[in-house]
Amino acid sequence: MEVSRYHVDISYLASMNETVKPYFNSIAGLAEKLDILADRAIDLAEIIKLLADILEI
């Protein structure tokens, strides 16, 4: 049986040491903040486009 390279051993995750979990939480928090930042960048780009349309640049 071939195992996907992305296969995750659930028993390994279940036995993960408590000292490792905060790192995963930090990474998840960072990903969430990056997602928010990306949304704001998109909003800013839309505002710049609207201003450019108004000024006919």
- Coil vs helix vs strand at 23: helix
Which residues constitute the domain of residue 22? 17-55
What is residue 4's predicted lDDT score, i.e. its pLDDT?
61
* Residue type at position 26: S
Is pLDDT at 12 greater than 60 in this prediction?
A: yes
Q: Which of 9, 12, 34 is nearest to 21 (CA)?
A: 12
Residue 30 belongs to some domain of the structure: yes
Is pLDDT at 2 greater than 60 in this prediction?
A: no
What is residue 1's predicted lDDT score, i.e. its pLDDT?
46
Query: What proportion of the chain, given as a percentage, has pLDDT over 70?
Result: 72
Residue 36 belongs to some domain of the structure: yes
Residue 41 phi/psi, 5-degree rounding, is -65, -40
Length of the chain: 57
Residue 1 belongs to some domain of the structure: no
Convert the pLDDT of each residue in 18-42 to its tens digit.
Answer: 778 788 889 999 999 999 999 999 9
Residue 9 belongs to some domain of the structure: no
Q: Which of 8, 5, 28 is nearest to 16 (CA)?
A: 8
pTM beyond 0.85, yes or no? no
* Total structural domains within the chain: 1
